[in-house]
Amino acid sequence: MDGEAEQSWKRTRRVKEQSHRSGGSSGLRPEDILTPKQYLNYQHGRILSGLLVFFGCMFALLGVVRTVATSSEPTTDPPTAFWAILAAAGLAGIIGGTAAFRGNRTWARLAYLFVMLLVFGCPVGTIVSVLWLLGLSSHMAACEKIRRVRIARSQAQPDEALDLD
């Protein structure tokens, strides 16, 4: 009986070790690299970037549909150019939010165009926009630190110790 229990424990442990997230090719997860405060900023940036993509999709879809669709009362509706600008801003939000989520500082700047429009949208849009504008730099700094450590880890020799700072 004792041998069977030990074998069962080894199988369970092996499954748990295999199912654990490996953190990409370097084996390091973001929570292993960052301090707790940096990790919190990193997670908040990813959440807010996801919300930007969501709102960007809504704006882009609304803009495209209203640009293409004919209106029963053209005098009361905004001009077609307004809807086209709304669709373009939504597309900028999708691209910029995705880039910020992935840690690409260059393309993340596109989201500023969308955030400036979203800040006037509604209370939720205002909150998301302000939090994203305030937290973008700390999120990008965390992404850069993760990238640097993973690159250093992939280039380091197996016996070499890494400085995570």
Type of residue numbered 54: F
Which pLDDT does position 85 carry in this prediction?
93
Q: Where are the domains of the chain?
A: 33-155
Confidence of residue 19 (pLDDT cuts 50, 70, 90): very low
Q: How many whole angstroms separate alpha carbon 128 and alpha carbon 118?
A: 8
Per residue in 130-154, pLDDT tens? 888 888 888 888 988 888 888 888 8
Say if residues 102 and 144 touch (Cβ distance below 8 Å).
no
Q: How many whole angstroms separate alpha carbon 79 and alpha carbon 54?
A: 25
Contacts 24+ apart (CB under 8 A), 36-41: 38/138, 38/141, 38/142, 38/145, 39/142, 41/135, 41/138, 41/139, 41/141, 41/142
Confidence of residue 13 (pLDDT cuts 50, 70, 90): very low
Question: Tokens at residue 48, please?
Answer: 């807010």
Which pLDDT does position 5 carry in this prediction?
58
Which pLDDT does position 131 carry in this prediction?
87
Per residue in 67-79, pLDDT tens? 898 777 777 888 8
